[in-house]
Structure formats: C-alpha cells, structure tokens
Amino acid sequence: MTVTPAQAEQPARIPPVPGSIWCDGCGSWCLPTGVCGCNNR
C-alpha cells in the first residue's frame, strides 16, 4: 500500500470511544450517537 504525503502528515487517530467516526469537516470525533464538534449544541 502506497502512502501519499497527505496521508503521512496525518497523525494516527485513535477513537476516544469505540465506534466513534472521525469527521473531517469538524476536525474532531463524532460519537456513535451523532454528537461531534459540528453539532454538539
């Protein structure tokens, strides 16, 4: 598998809660319940 320079710059992301999904739009983790940096209000 080839690693591109953009991929090499990203740190390894380990979810804080099992099932969390990284949200590129927010730059944070979205929890399985749908709460993340974009919609935590």
Per-residue pLDDT tens for 1-41?
565 555 555 567 788 888 888 888 888 888 888 777 776 54
Residue 32 Cα to chain centre, angstroms: 12
Indicate whether this model's pTM tops 0.85.
no
Q: In 2-41, which ranges are E strands?
A: 21-23, 28-30
Phi, psi of 18, deg, nearest 5: -55, 135
